[in-house]
Structure 1
Amino acid sequence: MDEEGLASLKKWFLGYCRSFYTSREEDNRNIRLKEEHTEQVCAFMDILTLDLGLDPGERRLAGVVALLHDVGRFEQYRCYGTFRDSESENHGTLGVRVLTGEGVLDGLAPEERRMILGGVALHNVFRIPDAIDGPARRLLHLVRDADKLDIWRVFLEFYGLPPEEQASAVGLGFPDLPVCTPGVVETVMRGELVNLATLKTLSDFKLLQLSWVFDLNFAVSRRLVVERNYVEQMAATLPPGEDAARVVAFVREYLARSG
């Protein structure tokens, strides 16, 4: 992967995004959100790969996976009007289908193409399969961390907007109730990732987002969470009560321990 190849993919992606804008502002808010999210994930990827001292070729490959990781979201929204995979289809799998159908990776070396498609396909899985190791696993660790680091920003901005300005597909349809499901609370308190299928309320979804700290793979990622004050900002959106307070305290302590 050389600089020219990366520039060509960036140009293609920009044109692809623009093809989804419509005359409806609600649609455009959702498409714009994903386009801006991709830009920020690429920026986070640059920070991570620079901190880890990867060589230029590795950094470019990681940058391509960051650029293309959510390419399936655009077709997902156009076809289904949602970003919720359970109500449409897996956006990682859909992204692979888009990239294959468009032929945008055809000029790359087979190993690069395989790693990029694998990164897109698996960036959103609950857990990375054990069979994936070596450079492919590290690439997945990188894109999953960069993705989470910006998703926190996306949702914190979403929670702070009045309803008429929110991108409608972001909340995934969870009712905005001041209730945390006990099972979700206990999952976080065990230091485990929360499964989306167990959620009942938007408050649960916020706890799921806090549980992502347990799935960060690099010290620089955890440092960025602290520097950007994500936990405290998320805590301010949670309903008052002992359950939410316990979770926030536990997550704070985990980040302090793990550095």
Structure 2
Amino acid sequence: MDLLHAKKVFEQYLDGYDREDDKVRLKIVHTYGVAKCSRQIAERMQLPKEEQELAQLIGLLHDIGRFEQLKRFDSFEPDTMDHASFGVRILFEEGLIRNFVKEDTFDEVIRTAIAKHSDFRLQGITDDRTLRHARIIRDADKLDNCRVKLEDTIETILGVTAREVGETAISGEILEQFKRKESILSSARRTKMDYWLSYLAYFFDINYKVSMDMIRENDYIKRLIRRIPYSNPQTKVQMGEVEEMLLRNAEEFTQ
């Protein structure tokens, strides 16, 4: 596969969208970040070069449906559009994938990895190669989302200031889910702190030790938790407990 060609086609695809829009810009940077993280995970796993390149290509294409979601709804919320399904539709039902890669050898792996990259839980994949790439893209997505949450403004991410986030409480249902080391359903979130905690719960859904090693090397857990000033007294105590729990989980991670 020709990754330079795929990147050129991706840039041409982006010409149909407003690159000056903050959310579009965020997703462009995120796409390239995920592609980079996917390649790094595959390299650390010592996969063959073709598998490394395939991981990078999946990273490049994983969020292609997001741009149309933003154009139509100006939102990342899942109730506006299933961006993963839309991405699969335009790539494989409408044939856009052939613009990116000429051969169809990798189609089923790419299709499944993109379709399932944002699923609440990864299920239903029996083929080892496909499962490996589905896991890689999910880990890479979370890794770059750590960077996004640190570099982009809280206003862009959550629509309010960091101070306003830290003033709110965590819903009891959300905190209990977190304590059970579960991913948090987007539909269950009520407060801005619920949203912030749901992002931190991503750390419970990491598949590979090399991915967790990258999280630890970048000190993402502490840096993310401490980005918000928790002026709500109860929230401040709870977030101290959250930090301890996540750091312990990272230390004990052996998958």
TM-score by length of 2: 0.88
Letter in 2 for 1:20: Y
Alignment of 1:69 onto 2:59: no
Contact 1:84–1:172 (8 Å) recurs in 2:
no
Contact 1:95–1:120 (8 Å) recurs in 2:
yes
Alignment of 1:50 onto 2:81: no
- 2:129 and 2:8 mapped to 1: Cα distance? 26
- 1:151 and 1:141 mapped to 2: Cα distance? 15
Correspondent of 1:183 among 157, 173, 182:
173
Question: C-alpha displacement at 1:172, in angstroms?
Answer: 7.1
Q: Which moved more, 1:70-79 or 1:176-185?
A: 176-185
Q: Which moved more, 1:218-227 or 1:70-79?
A: 218-227
Which position in structure 2 is the counterpart of 1:242? 237
Which position in structure 2 is the counterpart of 1:141? 135
Correspondent of 2:22 among 29, 41, 44:
29
- CA-atom RMSD, angstroms? 2.2
Question: C-alpha displacement at 1:229, in angstroms?
Answer: 1.5
Letter in 2 for 1:158: D
Q: Secondary structure at the match of 2:152?
A: helix
Pairs aligned (count): 244
Alignment of 1:59 onto 2:52: yes
The superposition leaves residues 222-259 of structure 1 with CA deviations (integer Å, 9 ceiling, x where unpaired) of: 11111112111222116253222211111111111116
Q: Secondary structure at the match of 2:244?
A: helix
Letter in 2 for 1:37: H
Correspondent of 1:254 among 225, 249, 252:
249
Identity rate of aligned residues, in percent? 26
Q: Which structure 1 segments of 5+ residues have no match?
A: none
CA shift in 2, pair 1:74/1:53, >3 Å:
same
Question: C-alpha displacement at 1:41, in angstroms?
Answer: 0.8
CA shift in 2, pair 1:172/1:219, >3 Å:
farther
1:1-259 correspondence to structure 2 within 5 Å: 2=1, 4=2, 6-21=3-18, 25=20, 28-86=21-79, 88-100=80-92, 101-105=94-98, 108-159=102-153, 163=155, 166=156, 170-171=157-158, 176=165, 177-236=167-226, 237=228, 239=230, 240-258=235-253
Q: Which structure 2 segments of 5+ residues have no match?
A: none
CA shift in 2, pair 1:140/1:172, >3 Å:
farther
- 1:9 and 1:79 mapped to 2: Cα distance? 25
Letter in 2 for 1:47: Q
Question: C-alpha displacement at 1:171, in angstroms?
Answer: 2.2
